Amino acid sequence: MKRTIMISDIHGCIDQLNQMLHLIQFNSIDDQLILLGDYVDRGPNIKAVVDKVIELVTEHHAIALRGNHDQ
């Protein structure tokens, strides 16, 4: 059975995002990842988060929604 994984409010925290994906053992073959927005604003590494979101969408078929901080 395929898991549906939802993550929101990353806010530029690339280390925490990578740790979370590692801890849950994200696998794009077995999982559907849905990113619920708020990738930017406040955090220490916004560019790395945006790059990771793009990678997850283009290479791992994640769905990325836009949050209010991403407007």
Catalytic residue set? 69
> How far is the C-alpha of 52 from the C-alpha of 17, rounded, in Å?
9
Neighbours of 54 (CB within 10 A): 12
- Phi–psi pair at 21, nearest 5 degrees: -60, -35
